């Protein structure tokens, strides 16, 4: 029997720990829970959408922090697997400009097993979100691409945010094209396009990406220049929302979560209204330090 309490929104990917250098104090470090997809899951849960993060974390102190933060975010913990493997770490050894590398050659995230997810979950899920470095790290990437195809075949809607990182080199190109083709919603930034297509001509890169799946809704974020929403041959633009910025960590994750929330909860809204909500969600996330999920009240205040 299918559990009626299974979540309607699921994120599949990696949760990790950011190890961030304090440049003012030399080799002093702080740790923060994070991960692009995991941040999206927390935002959606904070907007009262029944949400799960499907991934694997370690059983050590870093995994425990992610487990506790997932609990506090009200994520469905039945989807979060804990394994006696090493944690996945993102080492940010320079903050301006950001410079980082990842540690986790045999970390827990790579051993995630989709077959261990709760029975009947696909029948309850309305949306499943993919992206981040999980799709650039084998064997996890292959498992997630196969899962995305299975979900697509079952009629579940797919969203995809590649969230470019340096390990997404030419070897990632086939995954980029495959996931773009499967997605109902694609989120990409100008920085993503430059990195993924290894070009300064981001307009041409966006055109190529959209040519792979012209019917997909595409959220294109441009930082202070605002954002665009592309559906078929139509395009809508919205300016950035002026806010006092604490930092921009998690703003992109909040913007795609905002768009998906608007599409799920307000299906009769116009594309322009969906876009404005996404931009406001990203701006609201900038008002807090770190990847702070914005509240619905904070987003509405900016609209």
* pLDDT tier at 1, thresholds 50, 70, 90: very low
Tell me the average pLDDT across 279-301. 84
With b meaning 16 or more CB within 10 Å and e meaning fewer, what string describes 189-213?
bbebbebbbeeeebeebbebbbeeb
Q: Quick check: 133 pLDDT over 50?
A: yes
Residue 21: partners with Cβ closer than 8 Å, 6 or more residues away:
27, 28, 29, 92, 93, 94, 95
CATH class of the domain comprising 9-302: alpha beta
Express each pLDDT in 35-80 by its tens digit. Answer: 999 999 999 999 999 999 999 999 999 999 999 999 999 999 999 9
State both tokens at 202: 């981001």
Pick 27 or 133 by higher pLDDT: 133
Please tell me the predicted confidence (pLDDT) of residue 3.
Answer: 56
Share of the chain above pLDDT 90, in %: 77
Please tell me the predicted confidence (pLDDT) of residue 285.
Answer: 85
Phi, psi of 190 (to 5 degrees): -65, -35
* Alpha carbons 90 and 100: distance in angstroms, whole number: 7
* Alpha carbons 162 and 241: distance in angstroms, whole number: 24
* Alpha carbons 30 and 221: distance in angstroms, whole number: 29
Tell me the average pLDDT across 237-253. 79
Task: Calculate the average pLDDT of the chain.
Answer: 92
| Residue 60: CB atoms within 10 Å | 14
- Is residue 58 a contact partner of residue 87, using CB atoms and an 8 Å limit? yes
Helices (H) and strands (E) in the chain, counts: 10, 13
* Alpha carbons 121 and 147: distance in angstroms, whole number: 12
Q: Quick check: 96 pLDDT over 80?
A: no
Q: Quick check: 4 pLDDT over 80?
A: no
Please tell me the predicted confidence (pLDDT) of residue 297.
Answer: 87
Pick 119 or 241 by higher pLDDT: 119
Domain ranges of the chain: 9-302
Query: What are the E-state strand segments in 25-178?
Result: 28-34, 51-58, 80-83, 89-95, 98-103, 127-131, 157-161
Please tell me the predicted confidence (pLDDT) of residue 273.
Answer: 96
Q: Quick check: 24 pLDDT over 80?
A: no
Express each pLDDT in 203-244 by its tens digit. Answer: 999 999 999 999 999 999 998 888 999 999 999 999 988 777
Express each pLDDT in 163-208 by its tens digit. Answer: 999 999 999 999 999 999 999 999 999 999 999 999 999 999 999 9
Record the pTM. 0.94
* Alpha carbons 198 and 284: distance in angstroms, whole number: 30
Q: Quick check: 2 pLDDT over 60?
A: no
* Alpha carbons 35 and 88: distance in angstroms, whole number: 10
Strand partners, 17: 33, 89
Share of the chain above pLDDT 70, in %: 95
Please tell me the predicted confidence (pLDDT) of residue 293.
Answer: 85
């Amino acid at each position: 029997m299918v559990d009626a309490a299974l979540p309607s929104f699921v994120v599949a990917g990696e949760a990790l720990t950011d190890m961030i250098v304090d440049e003012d104090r030399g080799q002093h470090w702080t740790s923060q829970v994070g991960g692009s997809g995991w941040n999206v899951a927390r935002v959606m849960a904070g907007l009262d959408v029944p949400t799960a993060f499907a991934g694997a974390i370690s059983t050590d102190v870093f995994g425990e922090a992610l487990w506790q933060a997932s609990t506090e975010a009200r994520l469905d913990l039945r989807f979060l697997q804990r394994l006696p493997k090493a944690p996945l770490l993102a080492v940010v050894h320079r903050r301006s400009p950001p410079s980082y590398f990842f540690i986790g050659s045999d970390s827990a995230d790579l051993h995630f097993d989709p077959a261990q997810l709760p029975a009947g979950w696909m029948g309850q899920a309305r949306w499943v979100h993919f992206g981040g470095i999980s799709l650039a790290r084998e064997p996890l990437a292959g498992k997630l691409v196969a899962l995305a195809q299975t979900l697509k075949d079952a009629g579940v809607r797919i969203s995809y945010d590649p969230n470019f990182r340096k390990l997404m080199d030419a070897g990632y190109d086939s995954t980029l094209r495959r996931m773009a083709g499967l997605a109902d919603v694609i989120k990409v930034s100008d920085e993503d396009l430059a990195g993924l297509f290894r070009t300064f001509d981001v307009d041409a890169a966006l055109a190529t990406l959209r040519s792979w799946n012209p019917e997909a809704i595409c959220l294109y974020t441009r930082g202070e220049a605002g954002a665009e929403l592309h559906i078929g041959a139509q395009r809508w633009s919205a300016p950035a929302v002026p806010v006092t910025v604490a930092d921009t960590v998690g703003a992109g994750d909040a913007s795609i979560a905002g768009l998906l929330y608007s599409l799920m909860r307000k299906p009769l809204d116009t594309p322009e209204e969906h876009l404005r909500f996404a931009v406001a969600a990203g701006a609201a996330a900038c008002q807090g330090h770190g990847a702070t999920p914005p509240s619905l009240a904070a987003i509405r205040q900016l609209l």
